Amino acid sequence: MKYTRLGTTGMRVSRLCLGTMSYGDPAQRAWVLDEKAARPFYEKAIEAGINFFDTADVYCNGVTEEILGRAIKDLVPDREDVVIATKCFGGTHNGKLNRHGLSRKNIIASCDASLKRMGLDYIDLYQIHRFDYKTPMEETMEALSDLVRAGKVRYLGASSMFAWQFGEYLSLAEKHGWAKFVSMQNHYNLVYREEEREMIPLCAAKGVGLIPWSPLARGFLAGNRHRQGGGDTARATSDDFATQLYYAEDDFKVADRNVEVAGRLGVKPMQVALAWILSKPAVSAPIIGATKLSHLDDAIGALDLNLDESDIKLLEEPYRPHAILGHA
């Protein structure tokens, strides 16, 4: 396994972060694995040297956090050897009053609830899952900073939003002496590169590490999706969110080019897509999902795949601008 610092912090994370959205309650999503089926993925990831795990309170209504917490307790002798990231915003109460968003009340309550579900004393990276248009930014940043000062959280991170919003958060934290965001979990992959316009340059300038979600475009870049809809996997046939993000003809042109380059290099398309995102200087660790153990093997293999300038030029050439996707 290869390791890097998360942004400009002193904390070192594996170049791959295991995303846990696929582990929880199968009754909620057809492609989700239950705890028994999920455990081998944690075992394999830890054995391979992955020390970075990402989850969220909203995943399977908190069940995913519970499964992660038990896996870490059972499989990791020293909790300090792993970096646990979770998120707040959506919550686990189906939109009940004051149980969602980024108010001081909900941030602190959500943090305490996540700690309890995971059986942890602190969270390494606590992230806001989306931007809250109804809560003053000052209220959000001060509450998050207070969690750091209280010792419940080590570092702060954010997820998809506009660059001006993230810049304002960073400015407020600097102005008031509050803890700053050290990472941005944004929507970024070969099919969706709008983040290269403003968010990624901002993060690079401020020393904020990128931990992109959906680096394989929810499996779209595996090369097994169909123009008429769906694909060859359970997720491809039941992931409505993916059809909202991708499946345009221009997207298929990018996916086809990815398959072409992979064939020439003698590797799998998903390995090329991961190698491409890992080649970007601002990226600390893309967040990968896995519902087959071979997915983890392939992702780890991508760490040793080096694309040259001609490969990258071929991969990026078919891209066409998109509307903003993934902020909602």
E strand or H helix at 63 = helix 63-75
Q: Is 59 an annotated catalytic residue?
A: yes
Residue type, 265: L
The CA–CA distances, whole Å, from 180 to 35, 102, 145 equal 34, 16, 8
Contacts of 249 (CB under 8 A, 6+ apart): 227
Of 61, 79, 83, 74, whose CA–CA distance to 3 is shortest? 83
Between CA 33 and CA 167 the distance in angstroms is: 37
Six-digit token string for 48: 């391979």
> Which residues sit opposite 155 in a β-bridge?
125
Active site residue: 3, 23, 42, 59, which one? 59
Q: Burial-class residue 225 by CB neighbours within 10 Å (0-12, 13-18, 19+).
A: buried
The CA–CA distances, whole Å, from 35 to 24, 73, 119, 175, 196 equal 6, 14, 16, 44, 37
Between CA 193 and CA 273 the distance in angstroms is: 13
Query: How far from the centroid of its chain's Cα atoms is residue 199's Cα?
Result: 15
* Contact indicator for 39, 24 with CB cutoff of 8 Å: no
Contacts of 221 (CB under 8 A, 6+ apart): 189, 190, 191, 254, 255, 258, 269, 270, 273
Six-digit token string for 199: 């968010």
Between CA 98 and CA 147 the distance in angstroms is: 18
* Active-site annotation, residues: 59
